[in-house]
Structure 1
Amino acid sequence: MAQNMMLYWASGSPPCWRVMIALEEKKLQGYKHKLLSFDKKEHQSAEVKALNPRAQLPTFKHGDLIVNESFAACLYLESAFKSQGTRLIPDDPAEQALVYQRMFETNNLQQKMYDVAFYGYYIPEEERHESALKRNKENLVTELKLWDGYLEKMGKGSYLAGKNFTMADVVCFPVIAFFPRLHCPKEKCPRLMEYYEMLKDRPSIKASWPPHWLDNLEGPDLLKNL
């Protein structure tokens, strides 16, 4: 079933990682895949562009169907294999709404994390300002408090959208995993770090863990001074 699937991906990319978690949760092991390097610009190859004109990863193909956006690929896998593996989208409309909200809120958390952790990478040196970086840090701290509040409200041992593991966790965990990786102080998001510890050994997450993170257990301390 998975043999006619092809995934082009990059190690440590949250969008790629979430699709890989979804594939694991839906019991679709055995799919074909190709690990590419952003640094070597391998994602801009003709092979990828033939499937994804934007030359972005992940690029996912199932038979003749091409689904490139990570959210779309994850939702497609849940829809196409609804009765297989973990049920990632609940039937109840209210529960669905919370899952979808947390999924799309992930974009806010990821962007605010990138604005701090990779400020020096994205912003040319002549355009960098301490005041801008300070503001980015304040925005990230506010966002972390919001997510901590979500988990606090739902109670200890909760997933992002309730008592069950859902697509919200598939989508968001790869972003949350960057905080301990980049040495974010635990006191800035204690509930998120409890959540991280609860999920990091889940089989689907361990099976898809970024290989270069395994090779280098300590990431850079880009969030140390948050």
Structure 2
Amino acid sequence: MARNMTLLWGSGSPPCWRVMIALEEKKLQGYNSKLLSFDKEEHKSQEVFSINPRGQVPSFKHGDIIVNESYATCFYLESQFKSQGTKLIPESTEELNYFLKSAVFVCVCMNKILIFLFCPAAVIFYEYYVPEGERLDSALKRHKDALTSELKLWEEYLHNLGSGSNLAGKSFTLADVVIFPTVATLFRFGLSEKRYPKLAEYYALLRERPSIKASWPPHWLENTKGQDTLKDV
């Protein structure tokens, strides 16, 4: 079933990782998987452009169907394979209520989720992307302050859910598929577990999940030591 699927991806990319988690959860192992090097700019190759005109990953193809946005790909996999693997959108009234609440928090409020997804990258890669002569301490501080504000909201949200909870309650859902790679990236780059204990608890809860372990970024496995970019956030 998965043999007519192709995924072009990069190691450590949260958008790529969430698609890989969704594929694992839907029992769609065996797809055509090609790891591309960002350092070599392989994501700008003709192979990628033939699927994704933006030259970005993840680039996903199922038969003649192409879906290149990670959120859309995850929803596509769930809608096409509802009865297979994990039900990522719960059906029971109680669990669906939790899911919808988290979906509002995670997906509908796009301004907030974009802050949550963008701010870590803005802080982590500021020195990488901004030429030395153009860097401003005030800009980096602004990015860090925005990230800190957003992290506090997530701490409160997880605190209200209670210990041992996924984002939508007891069930693992698309909300977790979407958010976990970003949470993992935060801790990879030195986010303080003591300062954000609820996020740390959520991270520890999910990092042992089979789908997440199976799709763990290869270069993270090769080099288990992360960085300290976010230690002061």
For the superposition of Structure 1 and Structure 2, which TM-score range results when normalised by the shorter chain?
Answer: over 0.9
| 8 Å Cα contact 2:9-2:57 kept in structure 1 | yes
Matches within 5 A, 1:145-164: 145-164=152-171
Corresponding pairs, count: 226
Determine the structure 2 residue equivalent to 1:111: 118
- What residue identity is the alignment partner of 2:218? P
Separation in 2, partners of 1:211, 1:80: 28
Which of 191, 212, 219 lines up with 1:212 in the alignment?
219
Matches within 5 A, 1:130-209: 130-209=137-216
- Give the C-alpha shift of residue 178 in structure 1: 1.1
Which of 122, 130, 136 lines up with 1:123 in the alignment?
130
Separation in 2, partners of 1:120, 1:208: 28
- What residue identity is the alignment partner of 1:88? L
Determine the structure 1 residue equivalent to 2:84: 84
User: Structure 1, residues 68-95: CA drift from partner, whole Å, max 9, x if none?
Assistant: 0000000000000011111111245644
Query: What is the SS of the residue equivalent to 2:11?
Result: coil
Determine the structure 1 residue equivalent to 2:6: 6
Separation in 2, partners of 1:19, 1:175: 13
| 8 Å Cα contact 1:7-1:61 kept in structure 2 | yes
- What residue identity is the alignment partner of 2:168? A
Which runs of at least 4 in structure 1 moved beyond 3 Å after TM superposition?
A: 91-96, 103-106
TM-score for the superposition, normalised by structure 2: 0.92
Separation in 1, partners of 2:163, 2:99: 21
Determine the structure 2 residue equivalent to 1:98: 101
| 8 Å Cα contact 1:106-1:172 kept in structure 2 | no
| 8 Å Cα contact 1:106-1:171 kept in structure 2 | no
| 8 Å Cα contact 1:141-1:188 kept in structure 2 | no
Query: What is the SS of the residue equivalent to 1:162?
Result: coil
Separation in 2, partners of 1:187, 1:135: 23
- What residue identity is the alignment partner of 2:12? G
Structure 2 unpaired stretches of 5+: none
How large is the RMSD of aligned CA atoms in angstroms? 1.4
| 8 Å Cα contact 2:188-2:227 kept in structure 1 | yes
Separation in 2, partners of 1:7, 1:72: 14
Separation in 2, partners of 1:130, 1:2: 48
Query: What is the SS of the residue equivalent to 1:223?
Result: coil
| 8 Å Cα contact 2:7-2:59 kept in structure 1 | yes
Decide whether aligned partners of structure 1 residues 122 and 186 sit closer, same or farther in structure 2, where only a CA change above 3 A counts.
same
Query: What is the SS of the residue equivalent to 2:16?
Result: helix
- Give the C-alpha shift of residue 125 in structure 1: 1.8
Structure 1 unpaired stretches of 5+: none
